[in-house]
Amino acid sequence: MIIQIYAFTKVNEAVAAVEMGVDNIGFIAGKYDQVYAELSFEECREMVRAIPPQGTSTAITMSVDVDEILRMAEFVEPDIVHISSEVDMVNMDAMRTIRERMSPDILLMKAISVEDQSSVEVAKQYAQVSDLLLLDTSAKGFPGVGGTGFTHDWNVSKQIVEGVDIPVILAGGLSAANVAKAMEVVKPWGVDSNTSTNIEGSRVEKDLKRIEEFIKAVKSSPLYEPGRGLKK
C-alpha cells in the first residue's frame, strides 16, 4: 500500500511529507484555466530534484496536447506522468503515442472517472496502455478528472481493481476519517489525498498535520503493508 498526496506547491513541504512517510509526491505541472496549485515546469523540476530518494515524484498534467505532455516529461523528469484530463481527451491512441515516445524510465498513469458500471470497462481499456490507474471523482464545474473532494461508489472501484492487472491508486474525497474503510472495500495498491490534506479553506496550501493524520489512518489499518515503489 502506497500513500500519495497532491498537490504540493512548496519544496520544503514535499520533502517533509516524504520524511513523514508519504510515498508519492504529486504536483500540477503547467498552467491551466480553473486549476489551482499549478507550478511552472521549472518549479516542478526543482521539486523533483529535491524529493528524497525514497519518494516518488508524480507530475499531473491537464494538457490534451501530446507534444506538450512529452515536453513536460522531458524537462521535469518525474517518476510518473499523471494524465488527468477528461478521459477521452487523451484517448487510447494518444496514450500509446505518449508511452512510445516518452522515456522508458517514466511511468504513465491514467486518471479514470468512476461514475457507474460503465467505468469498469473504460478502466480495463486504459489499463492496456498505462502503467498505473488512478480512480477519482468528477463533478460539474471541475475541470478534468479529480480534485473535487467527493467520494464515489467504492464498489465500482473494487471491480476495477479486481479486473485489471496493473497497480491502482484510489482517490476521491479520501481523508483520515474514511480511508481505512475505503481500503477495506476496494483493496487498492495505493490511496491518494488532495483536498482533505489542505489547510482549511485553502485549495493550494498543504497542512502537514492533516497529512500526518492521513498517514496514521492508513498505517493503522490491518490491511496496510509497506508499499513498494514502481521506479524503474
Domain boundaries, the chain: 2-220
Give every CB contact of residue 101 below 8 A, 6+ residues apart in sequence. 66, 70
pLDDT at 204 over 50: yes
Q: What is the pTM of this model?
A: 0.92
Percentage of the chain exceeding pLDDT 90:
79
Helix, strand or coil for residue 206? Answer: strand
Q: How many CA atoms lie within 13 A of 33 on its CB side?
A: 1
CATH class of 2-220: alpha beta
Taking Cα atoms as reference points, which of 137, 169, 158 lies closest to residue 2? 169
What residue type is 195 in one-letter code? T
User: Could you report the per-residue pLDDT of 51-93, keeping only the tens digit for each?
Assistant: 999 999 999 999 999 999 999 999 999 999 999 988 889 999 9
Q: How far is CA 63 from the centre of its chain?
A: 15
Which of the residue ranges 25-29, 36-40, 204-208 would you say has the lowest mean pLDDT? 36-40
State the pLDDT at residue 75: 97
Which of the residue ranges 4-8, 87-91, 128-132, 150-154 would you say has the lowest mean pLDDT? 150-154
Neighbours of 111 (CB within 10 A): 26
Round to whole Å and give the CA distance between 175 and 193. Answer: 7
pLDDT at 202 over 80: no
Q: Determine the average pLDDT of the residues in 148-155.
A: 83
